[in-house]
Amino acid sequence: MSQASEREGLSAETGRAILDLAAEVGGVAMLAGRLLRRLAPPRLDGPELARNLHRMGVKSLPIVGVTALFTGGIMVIQAGVLIRRFGAEGLLGWGAGFATLREVGPILIALMFSGRVGANNTAELGTMTVTEQIAALETLAIDPLSYLILPRCIAMVVMLFMLTVYGDVLALAGSALMGQALLGVSVATFFNGFLETIRVWDLATGLIKSVLYGVIIALSSCHFGLTVTGGAPGVGRAVNTSVVASATGIFVTDYFSTYLLG
Amino acid sequence: MAPPVAPATPPDDALDGDAERPRPRGLAADTGQLLIEGVRAFRGLFDVALRTVYWSLKGRREKGVVLEQAFEIGNKSVFFLTVTQGFIGMILVFQSGLQARRVVPDLTMLGATFLELLVRDLAATLASMMLATRVGAGIAAEIGSMVVTEQVDALRMCGVDPVDWLVVPRFLASVVMTGVLIFYAGAIAYFAGGATAWAVFDVQPQTYLNARLLDIGDVSIGLAKCVAYGAAIPIVSGWCGLSARGGSEGVGIATTQAVVFSSLAVIILNLVISGVGFVLFPV
């Protein structure tokens, strides 16, 4: 982002902001294109992929677990107001389960994942960029995109999908427990209501969305990491921009995918 | 008998463990290390929180510092919040409308229920998750780069508590601006939802604008959340920034941790406040 040294007119600032935005979106699209070209006959580093799968996925289990459990509990508290008003205990499984599987679970897990893995990825790539390690790779005739970037992107997409499955399960467990503790709705009643009303498609939409979120987090975190300038403060700023861009992208995608998937 | 605890190793930061393969250790040693680190981190956080509150009440600040931070935290988040909250408002009304139609045929209470849910929970929590991302990362990145470039040590040399100088202005600004931004974000989500209800489900605006379900409990829970989130985000991310170590890598890790921990703080506070509110204000 360019720094306006002196005060400019509103139109100039707006124009600059729009141009900056267009440049970033274009950069992400270019990165996506170049990564896709490397997928056609897959050219990527296998061990690097395995290592990224482990540290991005397995090591996120605790934070995703805590988020999911708490989220499930919160959904029950919010649904509890309506349940008490209508006196319909059987609907608790429907209310909490539906919201968790379709919207809240995938979104919150994606936001946490973007905070932990996406931000960290930007920080790492940014550090590599400012210390010229990426340039060194190119000098050694190693393609940084297939060696460094593509394994990370694939790992993020795969792992966010799997973490969403894991998170959904834990969120439902959290809902059932909270329903028992706070509303006195037994776990059996909860899951009966859940199984009667929730269709497989509800679960599937959430999981499809999680793949889309994974793509967004992967692309934006890699793009902002690779375009860092200006030392340690630059890395901090890039991480900030990357998480903001991921969050915006997640919500915009959520809107359109909700419309399309129904 | 538990095996002897392994000698202290450098703290495991977020995503490392790939620089060199960690030696396999016993479960007890791992658990113990995790516990000790957890307690140490919690004490650090508690220390920053206490000193923030102390200096907010006692310290004196230069003129304009808080305003500057308020601009940084508040005005610069407006665009981000408008986009995300507008979309989330549309999504929520669309989803709940679809669902409600499956169970009850009429959607006259859609607006009233949505407003209640926004005031009780969603406006504050979703906006704060966004602010934890944007503001938290910003604070940690800024303070973290000051730490690694030894500017914070220079402050200490001058006899200034870095918490007083760096965290307190952000804390005061955030408490005020988070509240304001949550009102704004809630309004955006509410009206975006109203537009969706009108366009998709044919709910007339005069039916949608209905505050009958709001009561004192909802409003007090919502306000409590505003204050709690606004206070938690700068403290948690200030603490993350102050514990940055190493060069640009350290700043990156601190920023990451700030996003994760302040989002987590929002989620945990949400559960606590919602639970207490549910017990205090029975429907």
Q: What is the pLDDT of residues B38-71, one digit of tens each?
A: 898 889 889 999 998 898 888 777 778 888 888 8
Instruction: Give dist(CA A73, CA A179) in Å, integer.
Output: 8
Q: What's the average model confidence in pLDDT over B228-236?
A: 94
The H or E element containing residue A221 is helix A200-226
Domain extent listing, chain A: 43-261
Residue B182 has pLDDT above 90, yes or no: yes
Burial of B75 (0-12, 13-18, 19+ CB in 10 A): exposed
Q: Is residue B150 situated within a structural domain?
A: yes
Instruction: Give dist(CA A32, CA A39) in Å, integer.
Output: 11
Instruction: Give dist(CA A37, CA A89) in Å, integer.
Output: 53
Is-contact A220 A29, C-beta < 8 A? no
Q: What is the percentage of chain B residues whose pLDDT exceeds 70? A: 91
The H or E element containing residue B131 is helix B123-131
User: Are the Cβ atoms of A108 and B15 closer than 8 angstroms?
Assistant: no
Q: Is residue B45 situated within a structural domain?
A: yes
Q: Is residue B233 situated within a structural domain?
A: yes
Q: Is residue B163 situated within a structural domain?
A: yes
What token pair was written down for A22? 């267009």
pLDDT given for residue B24 in this prediction:
67
Residue A257: closest CA among chain B residues belongs to which residue?
B91
Which residues 6+ apart lie within 8 Å of B112 measured at CB?
A: B210, B211, B212, B213
Judge if pTM exceeds 0.90: no
Q: Is residue B16 situated within a structural domain?
A: no
Residue B269 has pLDDT above 90, yes or no: yes
Q: Is residue B81 situated within a structural domain?
A: yes
What token pair was written down for B161? 């508590």
Task: Report the number of distinct structural domains present in chain B.
Answer: 1
Q: Is residue B122 situated within a structural domain?
A: yes
User: Are the Cβ atoms of B252 and A127 closer than 8 angstroms?
Assistant: yes
Instruction: Give dist(CA B142, CA B151) in Å, integer.
Output: 11
Residue B8 phi/psi, 5-degree rounding, is: -60, 130
Test mutation, B92, B248, B273, chain A, max A CBs within 10 A: B248
Which residue stretches of chain A have pLDDT < 70? Answer: 1-7
Residue B263: closest CA among chain A residues belongs to which residue?
A112
Test mutation, B12, B13, B15, B84, chain A, max A CBs within 10 A: B15
What mean pLDDT, rounded, does chain B reach?
84
Instruction: Give dist(CA B189, CA B201) in Å, integer.
Output: 17
Q: Which domain holds residue B213?
A: 29-280
Is the Cβ of A56 closer than 8 Å to some Cβ of chain B?
yes
Is the Cβ of A218 closer than 8 Å to some Cβ of chain B?
no
The residue assigned the tokens 């601006």 is B177
Q: Is residue B87 situated within a structural domain?
A: yes
